[in-house]
Structure 1
Amino acid sequence: MRRFRRSALGATTLALAVALALASCSSGESGTTSGGATVASKLILGGPPECPTRPFCVPGLKKTYGITFKSFKPLDVGGPQTVAALKAGAIQVALLFSTDPVITDNGWVALEDDKHLQNADVITPVVRTAALNDEITTLLNGISAKLTTDNIVPLISQVAEQKQDPAVVAKSFLTQQGLLPSSGNGAGKSLTVGVSAAFAENEIVAEMYAQVLEGAGYKVKRELDLASREVSDPALKSGKIDIKPEYLASELGGPLANAPDKASGDATAELDALRPALLSQGITVLNPSQADDTNVFVVTKATADQYGLSKVSDLAKKV
């Protein structure tokens, strides 16, 4: 979920050393149950230090899937330590983010969350209702209709790893998808596009919003350095910004909706809860995309092949 941000990728050598050093300080219980050993009982899970107490991690795996790993290794929040540990074999299962390019770059396998343990953090435009009109709705919903988990991953890679300008990457995507208007009714109207944190994915999508609006004639200001949802939510309500890309589950837990209990693996149910919660505060939630940036359990291809893994429930198979 995007309530937690990973550190920038880098310092791989240091991260690898840390991951290997942690090999001798695993925590957790044996994964062998009264019904016999499972695949999970042979494997070490690595992830953020809070994983053993978070419902989407160790407790949720046990409750929802009946899975207990051989042990748990505390690392970082989907960052370089976790990546390095999976590469080195210090862990066999890693908790990462579904849109992290490192998964496809390494040919790793993201296990399908077939019992919907994770919340759906689908990228969705939210707009100050007073600033909204039919043209803006059509333009932003058009982006949502084209944006998927699969096609945003290479865009993130271009910015986060190849250090390309988010504006250039966004424009290329919009052009390829035929989303850039050549004219519109925005002349003389000003809008401000913000974010809930300045990371590559957020900046790319915010740029997409800004550029289609500029193509329609609007004068667009960018506020792409807002530090958190605790900053961007009040900014949206007050009119400091008019539009921002959001994530359904994370925004439900933000200061405007303040309904973290409504977050779930069902994006439709989340949308049904978020829309009235924000509309009552003068904010409209537009159509969600198909880009879901959520937690995902990842294994190497070798591990997937060895145990026949494609979904999380496969980890509960007896061996």
Structure 2
Amino acid sequence: MRSVRRSALGATALALAVATALAACSSGGGGTTSGGGATVASKLVLGGPPECPQRPFCIPGLKNTYGLTFKEFKPLDVGGSQTVAALKSGAIQVALLFSTDPVISDNGWVALEDDKHLQNAELITPVIRTDKLNDEISKLLNDISGKLTTDNIVPLIKDVAANKKDPADVARGFLQQQGLMPSSGSGAGKSLTVGVSSAFAENEIVAEMYAEALQAAGYSIKTELSLATREVSDPALESGKIDLKPEYLASELAGPIANAADKASGDADAELTALRSALQSHGITVLDPSQANDTNVFVVTKDTADKYGLSKVSDLAKKV
């Protein structure tokens, strides 16, 4: 989940220490499914965060949902430079990364389709205080969601994270390119504060999209991008310290207001229904989700994909 994984990024030193302690250990072995015989997975080394052997989205889920056991597991970092370097060098053949990480397309790697929906749906979605919402704001934000996809947010993230461009400039350029920048509006005299949870390039860009579009419609906009985790940003939204923020469906379900982590799943529609129900009584409206899904993804190099005919996670269960 996005909340768990981003919090782990904030504890990089701890994760690396655990990784060092576990480096001599491996998970897996026989690499067979219940039907017997060696599988593709049994020939490959999986790399990911140190907690992978305990997390349902990683080794337990791969075994229970897909019937996969890998040759070995190497504890690395949380979708970061260690995991990327290991996949590049061949030290691992399957890496757990984030689906919107530009490194995947930059290297021509193959993100395996999660065809059995092991991972939670983490669609980027605007959440806003109901008392600040009107038809114009709803349309502006929903229109942004309607244009935002996993594919088209990746180059925007690269512009900010790698090319060091300003998130507001990148956001403005996207809105203009997509025809989403209003030429006028009815926002004069009305103010909103846009925030984020645990600021990083991706959600800063989306927050700036909201801010730029609303400002162009005449609203007075402030941004609050220094909030920490949802334990801070959710109460800030409920109290009115901020009025609006981009969120992730599954992660916001696990937040302190919704408190419904058990409702997270790979079914985005079900997640949306649950989140709307959970937040409505707190004066928060969940608008339309985008098709930008920042979730866990298992990645292989093109050479590995070609060698074994891999395009989806279930292909790793094929006999060899």
1:26/1:44 CA distance change after superposition, 3 Å: farther
Give distance in 1, aligned partners of 2:30 and 2:124: 35
Give the equivalent residue in structure 2 for 1:246: 247
One-letter code of the match for 1:113? D
Taking the TM superposition and a 5 Å limit, the aligned residue runs for 1:127-206 are 127-206=128-207
Paired residues of 2:23 and 2:75 also in contact (CA < 8 A):
no
Give the equivalent residue in structure 1 for 2:99: 98
Give the equivalent residue in structure 1 for 2:31: 32
Where does the alignment leave 5 or more consecutive residues of structure 2 unmatched?
11-15
Give the equivalent residue in structure 1 for 2:317: 316
One-letter code of the match for 1:137? S
* Residue-pair matches, total: 309
One-letter code of the match for 1:291? A
Give distance in 2, aligned partners of 1:86 and 1:230: 34
SS at match of 1:193: strand
Give the equivalent residue in structure 2 for 1:110: 111
One-letter code of the match for 2:24? C
Give the equivalent residue in structure 2 for 1:2: 2
Query: How far apart are 1:26 and its partner, in Å?
Result: 4.5
Give the equivalent residue in structure 1 for 2:80: 79
One-letter code of the match for 1:32? G
Paired residues of 1:95 and 1:296 also in contact (CA < 8 A):
yes
Give the equivalent residue in structure 2 for 1:54: 55
Taking the TM superposition and a 5 Å limit, the aligned residue runs for 1:282-297 are 282-297=283-298
Give the equivalent residue in structure 1 for 2:13: none
Query: How far apart are 1:211 and its partner, in Å?
Result: 0.4
Note the alpha carbon deviations across 1:72-128, whole angstroms, 9 max, x for none: 000011000100110011100000000000000000000000000000000000000
With normalisation by structure 2, the TM-score equals: 0.94
Paired residues of 2:22 and 2:75 also in contact (CA < 8 A):
no
Give the equivalent residue in structure 2 for 1:11: none
One-letter code of the match for 2:2? R
Give distance in 1, aligned partners of 2:291 and 2:255: 21
One-letter code of the match for 1:169? V
Give the equivalent residue in structure 1 for 2:124: 123
SS at match of 2:113: coil
Paired residues of 2:31 and 2:68 also in contact (CA < 8 A):
no
1:303/1:292 CA distance change after superposition, 3 Å: same
Query: How far apart are 1:258 and its partner, in Å?
Result: 0.3
One-letter code of the match for 1:235? A
Give distance in 1, aligned partners of 2:55 and 2:302: 27
Paired residues of 1:140 and 1:209 also in contact (CA < 8 A):
yes
Note the alpha carbon deviations across 1:34-90, whole angstroms, 9 max, x for none: 601000000000000000000010000000000000010000110001001100111
SS at match of 2:223: strand
Query: How far apart are 1:214 and its partner, in Å?
Result: 0.1
Note the alpha carbon deviations across 1:221-274, whole angstroms, 9 max, x for none: 000111111110000000000000000000000001000000000000000100
Indicate the RMSD between aligned Cα atoms, in angstroms. Answer: 1.7
Give distance in 2, aligned partners of 1:23 and 1:102: 26
Q: Does 1:307 align with 2:311?
A: no
Query: How far apart are 1:205 and its partner, in Å?
Result: 0.0
Q: Identical aligned pairs, as a percentage?
A: 78
With normalisation by structure 1, the TM-score equals: 0.94
One-letter code of the match for 2:184? S
Give distance in 2, aligned partners of 1:27 and 1:216: 56
SS at match of 2:46: strand
Query: How far apart are 1:182 and its partner, in Å?
Result: 1.1
Paired residues of 1:31 and 1:42 also in contact (CA < 8 A):
no
Query: How far apart are 1:22 and its partner, in Å?
Result: 9.9
Give the equivalent residue in structure 2 for 1:235: 236
Query: How far apart are 1:23 and its partner, in Å?
Result: 11
Query: How far apart are 1:2 and its partner, in Å?
Result: 1.7
Paired residues of 1:122 and 1:288 also in contact (CA < 8 A):
yes
Note the alpha carbon deviations across 1:199-232, whole angstroms, 9 max, x for none: 0001000000000000000000000111111110
One-letter code of the match for 1:123? I
SS at match of 1:52: coil
Query: How far apart are 1:31 and its partner, in Å?
Result: 3.8
Give distance in 2, aligned partners of 1:241 and 1:157: 27
Query: How far apart are 1:144 and its partner, in Å?
Result: 0.2
One-letter code of the match for 2:38? A
Question: Which stretches of structure 1, 4 residues or longer, exceed 3 Å deviation after superposition?
Answer: 21-24
